Amino acid sequence: MRTCLVITGGPIDLDFAGAFLKERSFHKIIAADAGLKAAKILGLVPDVIVGDFDTVEPEVLEEFKRVEHIVWEVHQPEKDETDTELALNRAMASGCGEIAVLGATGGRLDHMIGNVHLLYPCLQKGIFAYLLDKQNKVYLLDRGKDFFKETLWGKYVSFLPLTQEIKAITLKGFRYPLKQKDIEIGTSLCISNELTEEEGRIEFEDGVLICVESHD
């Protein structure tokens, strides 16, 4: 499966990002606007650079303009999409089945919430996309999933409704199990759960969940 890394312009813990990238390789790298600065510090050369370039430092922009193979997708500052949405659209069009997004959490809360919502078009296309930082891994679920303690991003697993209602949630192998429980948007019932066994599973019949794997 082809994988893609998207680097957006939000806050990035560079020590974490460097360690993460040592463990992973990606078929395609896309940088959005101010994400170029992080890419430079991390020693990454993007395949594609998108945005309106209203926040990236001019000297960083000029440095990457000298790299021949980079594809540039330039937009006007007054546009309907955020730079992160433009980058994700490009990632989805690249044929990748998995998209990791750095720089999409922290900073402005409106952008962070919007970035979670931007995962939905990926889900609709069958692409596993997730937002990642030192403490959190955020993605969407529209079907059941198995969880394994050894591969969780952290101790906690939280589920929050993205759609109005989630039908018949069943949680097995978790500290707080559920059986055929309907929940609606506006509840904190499924926050901060934990695996009590090496493996756990969530099942549900309808709806879309935000899943957050996290640690303190």
What DSSP line would sit under 99-164, residue for residue?
A: EEEES-SSS-HHHHHHHHHTHHHHHHTT-EEEEE-SSEEEEEESS-EEEEGGG-SSSEEEEEESSS
Q: For residues 182-197, give the mean pLDDT.
A: 96
CATH tag, 141-214: 2.60.120.320
Q: Do 3-134 and 141-214 share a fold?
A: no
Listed by start position, the domains of the chain span 3-134, 141-214
Residue 60, φ and ψ in degrees, nearest 5: -70, -45
d(CA 61, CA 53): 8
pTM of the model as a whole: 0.95
Mean pLDDT over the full length of the chain: 95
What average pLDDT score do residues 4-32 get?
96
pLDDT category of residue 12 using cuts at 50, 70 and 90: very high
Architecture of domain 3-134: 3-Layer(aba) Sandwich (3.40)
